[in-house]
Amino acid sequence: MQQLRRNRRLRTNDAIRSLVREHIITPNDFLVPLFVVEGDNIKEEIASMPGYYRYSLDLLVQEVKDIWSMGLKSVLLFVKVPDSLKDNNGTEALNADGLMQRAIKTVKNTVPEMLVMTDVALDPYSSYGHDGIVEDGYIINDETCEVLAKMALSHAIAGADFVAPSDMMDGRILAIRELLEQENYKNTGIMSYSAKYASAFYGPFRDALDSAPGFGDKKTYQMDFANREEAIKETLMDIEEGADIVMVKPGLSYLDLVRDIRDVVDVPVAVYQVSGEYAMLKAAAAQGWLDHDAVMLEQIMAFKRAGAHIIASYFAKDVIKLIG
Ligand code: PBG
């Protein structure tokens, strides 16, 4: 038979490729993670995340203005807590005048329209570096959920638009949702880290916040990376409990889950391109082994193609600078 169908006709030149392209990247796709520290005039580069910084609140102001001016409209806040304020119960997490609560206000006072999401987990506040309260070497679930709910409420009171629980305790979404409703924070959203795996890709992040676990690992609460169907179960349960947005984390090695989940849920799906993924590309590019910008765009597009509505990425500003 004579060849009639030639797929390469649709790839002949840039104009036709642009016309038939299925996905595009825009600033609306991104959630920008921000690391905040105590002090004045601090902008410190994170050793294992070249080109990414921790900011004190005074310098956070300019960074937030820059992000907004690039068309990026959502941030995800993390704080580095001094060791002297850490304990087993994460008491400092509930301090109405704590660093996170002040960071939320700083962002909102700088750009009121900026969407502010906050990390909710005890690890930056825990003397053990765990996401919950430790008892006899075990991370106790229900007591941790109670603290997480109070922590989420204090973020809502400080002005957070969404809280983002990243701890993987059972029932924490319900605990948070109930307390927010009860206290009349009905419009404060929850972005749940629903399918969060126990991953070695978080290493550089734990450097950034000095939050590595002091003993053991996180395998009794974060998911086993051998499991796929369990991710669907976790995600559907979080939606039932009241999650407005669900998330898969890490990103690139877990794109199968992004697609699986996108196919079965009716809420927006976020993906987190985590610190180790950022570090890998920066390292390879510094060696001259990979073309940084080309690989970065290819990876971001992979998230969109897999079905992500929202991409949390340390590359957000780099991408927008590149695509204009
Ligand atoms: C805290 C938290 C972690 C990350 C986001 N929130 C670390 C962890 O669970 O150990 C990882 C983010 C990254 O690696 O970029 N619970």
State the distance from the centre of ligand 1 to the C-alpha of 167, rounded, in angstroms.
9
CA of 261 to the centre of ligand 1 (A): 21
196 is catalytic: yes
pLDDT digits (tens, 9 = 90+) for 151-200: 999 999 999 999 999 999 999 999 999 999 999 999 999 999 999 999 99
Taking residues 240-256, report their average pLDDT: 98
In a mutational test of the pocket of ligand 1, which residue from 79, 151, 274, 282 has the highest number of ligand atoms less than 8 Å from its CB? 274
What pLDDT is recorded for position 1?
85
| Ligand 1 atom closest to residue 273's alpha carbon, by position in its atom list | 15
The string of pLDDT tens digits covering residues 111-121 is 999 999 999 99
Is the domain defined by 24-323 classed in CATH 3.40.1160.10? no
**What is the pTM (predicted TM-score) of this model?**
0.97
Other C-beta atoms closer than 10 Å to the C-beta of 28 total: 11
Residue nearest ligand 1's atom 14 by CA: 202
Instruction: Please name the residues in contact with 287: beta carbons below 8 A apart, sequence gap of 6 or more.
Output: none
d(CA 4, ligand 1 centre) in Å = 52
pLDDT, position 61: 98
Q: Which atom of ligand 1 is nearest to the CA of 167?
A: 16
Q: Residue of the nearest CA to atom 6 in ligand 1?
A: 166
With a 6 Å cutoff on the Cβ, whether 166 touches ligand 1 is: yes
Domains in the chain: boundaries? 24-323
Beta carbons within 10 angstroms of residue 295's beta carbon: 14
Residue 220 pLDDT > 90, yes or no? Answer: yes
What are the beta bridge partners of residue 163? 118, 190
pLDDT band at 324 (very low <50, low <70, confident <90, very high): confident
Q: What is the mean pLDDT of residues 215-229?
A: 96
Measured between alpha carbons, how far is 263 from 280 in angstroms, rounded to an integer? 29
Given a cut of 90, is residue 268 above it in pLDDT?
yes
pLDDT digits (tens, 9 = 90+) for 38-93: 999 999 999 999 999 999 999 999 999 999 999 999 999 999 999 999 999 999 99
Q: Where does the pLDDT of residue 210 fall: very low under 50, low under 70, confident under 90, or very high at 90 and above?
A: confident
- Dihedral (Cα; 259, 23, 164, 245), 10-degree rounding: -60
Q: What is the mean pLDDT of the chain?
A: 97
